[in-house]
Structure 1
Amino acid sequence: MPASLQEVKRRIDSTKKTRQITSAMQMVSTAKLSQIQKHATSYQVYATKIRSVITHLAKSHLLDSKNFGTTNANDSKLNTLGMLRQRPVKTTGIVVITSDRGLVGSYNSNVIKQTLQLIEDNNRTPDDVAIIAIGGTGADFFKKRGFNVAYEYRGVSDIPTYKDARPLVEAIVTMFDSEVYDELYVCYSHFVNSLTSEFRAEKMLPIAAENMGYDDLAEQADSNYSIQYETEPSEDAILEVILPQYAESLVYGAILDAKTSEHASSSTAMKAASDNAKDLIASLELQYNRARQSAITTEITEITGAQAALE
């Protein structure tokens, strides 16, 4: 077999093996996507409810910071009620959720690109931004470009659990109380469907009524009706419980949504790679058959010519 035919044959075999790998990865990503969608659907019920509660508290003005006076660094309730504190913005914190690995198409690049655009739109420089990176890709990217990566979390499971969000929320709120940043955005890729995702940037801290859209239930309430609550044992005690749950729901919801989008992007990317490999194999096989036919024709011509010479 001529050297050129051997090279084409090796490329065909190599591409077939690559296609087997990408096809297997596509099936794995599709299975993970199916599993995480079930979790996301059930969690959405809780997230909607906790958001409805916070919305009603906002409309009743229980979230107004003026209701709580001032706190100091020794106040044991700082980590909770501190989430309501409004102060001049010197540093902006940004939670960036990316993947730990590649092979997810444009998933990571879209999130990073839009996050950089958010920083530019807010007239921020690397010195004015504190990055909280969830996922190794985002952490490595911003470190290389001179941003302050105040916290990074790698190794998020393929199907994140609610417990994954708790240490993140504690670290995020502690840094907010310590004035590492004065406001916080959560940036991630929102899952729309298996083929489409969109970038989202939600303001998480400080918690305020203007940072959230009132849900349908709240919008249906009479605008002239003032929602009031009688609290037991106290407003502070209620907020001590509800505010951490709301913060955890935001972070966990964003992680769950981003992971869903990641699996969808991975499945789509691997399907595209498998389809491209299939097309390449067909092209190489056509090239191989033509070269082989040409070689056979040349051999027959040489044999015929030799026979004619002998006669």
Structure 2
Amino acid sequence: MPAQLRAYRARIRSAQTTKKITRAMELIAASRIAKAQQRVAASLPYARAVTRAVSAVATYSNVQHVLTTERENPTRAAIVVVTSDRGLAGAFNSNALKKSEELGELLRREGKEVVSYLVGRKAVGYYRFRRRDFIREWVGDTDTPSVETAREIAEAVVEKFVQPTDEGGVDEIHIVYNRFVSMLTQTPEMLRLLPLEVVEGVEEPEPGKALPLYEFEPDSGEVLDAMLPIYIESRIYQALLESAASKHAATQRAMKSASDNADKLIREYTRLANNARQQEITQQISEIVGGADALAGTRTT
């Protein structure tokens, strides 16, 4: 019985220590979420302005650009997989990796060879454990992604896209990341970066009015040459920021759940320890009473 009581008390101390760690991590994640959300909100006006500018050029000009032209019979596609450098975030990383696997399987069924670009140590570890090849990796700043990292990724994928397929180039570029919806919801998203699909920012004419006329100076081809790399960079940077905010929210939720579970364990082990202590006291009282009865019987005889 004393050994059982000591075991329960050791488990209580272990659960209390775990709770201190998870509680601290929960508070740290909560403090980082606000900053991550501010960075997402601050980047949106720029991303929208770039999108509107690219949309205007792509919609109101007839120029054929390499980044906007669909390839005939595409045979090779690349996927940029965005995860985090650290774990303890619930299903955050596994959701992104699962979405990338689904996308890769879809592309393979279409007869395309798939290559990967990895962001975050979790994606790198996932591929290395399964001995899968990938083109390039970026690790170290997924919690607070920088513009320089987004620019490096954009330059790498654009370089591969403009390169002929028989020389190692690709016909399509996709990105998979977790989009921040709310503190409770982060959904994995996949977006085709290249060939370019402008999905927002196109002006709608007002009733009874014609569409505006645009003149581009220099010509629209040079404008697209300058704008499209910036557009791709802003899209990737926005995805990195969304992923960072999603990771902090997922970490806070996971650590809160771990703290709650630690509380349940502490209550359960405290109850069991109290029961064990009560049984020990009862046994001691029984032994004392039994001993006293034995001594009283000896004296009467």
- TM-score of the aligned structures, taking structure 1 as reference length: 0.87
Q: Superposed, which structure 2 residues align to 1:200-239 within 5 Å?
A: 200-207=189-196, 211-215=197-201, 218-221=203-206, 225-239=210-224
Match of 2:123 among 125, 134, 138: 138
Q: Superposed, which structure 2 residues align to 1:71-110 within 5 Å?
A: 82-87=66-71, 88-110=73-95
- Hey, what's the Cα distance between the residues in 2 that align with 1:203 and 1:223? 35
Partner letter of residue 68 of structure 2?
L
Structure 1: gaps of 5 or more residues: 66-80
SS at match of 2:67: helix
- Hey, what's the Cα distance between the residues in 2 that align with 1:112 and 1:301? 62
- Hey, what's the Cα distance between the residues in 2 that align with 1:59 and 1:183? 21
Match of 1:123 among 88, 97, 108: 108
Match of 1:182 among 151, 165, 171: 171
Match of 2:184 among 184, 192, 195: 195
Contact 2:12 2:266 in 1 (8 A): yes
- Hey, what's the Cα distance between the residues in 2 that align with 1:167 and 1:221? 40
Closer, same or farther in 2 for the Cα pair 1:126/1:100, shift >3 Å? farther
- Hey, what's the Cα distance between the residues in 1 that align with 2:66 and 2:128? 29
- Hey, what's the Cα distance between the residues in 1 that align with 2:291 and 2:233? 85
Instruction: Report what 1:6 is aligned to.
Output: 6
Q: Superposed, which structure 2 residues align to 1:1-311 within 5 Å?
A: 2-61=2-61, 64-65=63-64, 82-87=66-71, 88-124=73-109, 128-145=113-130, 147-178=132-163, 179=165, 180-207=169-196, 211-215=197-201, 218-221=203-206, 225-311=210-296
Residue-by-residue CA offset, 1:2-32 (whole Å, 9 max, x unaligned) = 1111111111001100000000000111111
Please give the root-mean-square deviation of Cα atoms over the aligned residues, in Å. Answer: 2.1
Residue-by-residue CA offset, 1:180-201 (whole Å, 9 max, x unaligned) = 3110111111010011011111
Structure 2: gaps of 5 or more residues: 297-301
SS at match of 1:123: helix
Give the CA deviation at 1:52: 1.6
Give the CA deviation at 1:237: 2.9
Instruction: Report what 2:299 is aligned to.
Output: none
SS at match of 1:86: coil
- Hey, what's the Cα distance between the residues in 2 that align with 1:265 and 1:284? 28
Partner letter of residue 39 of structure 2?
H
Partner letter of residue 4 of structure 2?
S
SS at match of 1:300: helix
- Hey, what's the Cα distance between the residues in 1 that align with 2:3 and 2:22? 29
Give the CA deviation at 1:223: 9.8
Partner letter of residue 205 of structure 1?
L
Partner letter of residue 184 of structure 2?
L
Residue-by-residue CA offset, 1:75-124 (whole Å, 9 max, x unaligned) = xxxxxx54234323111110110111210100011111121112223334
Closer, same or farther in 2 for the Cα pair 1:131/1:224, shift >3 Å? farther
Closer, same or farther in 2 for the Cα pair 1:223/1:291, shift >3 Å? farther
Partner letter of residue 104 of structure 1?
A
Closer, same or farther in 2 for the Cα pair 1:118/1:28, shift >3 Å? same
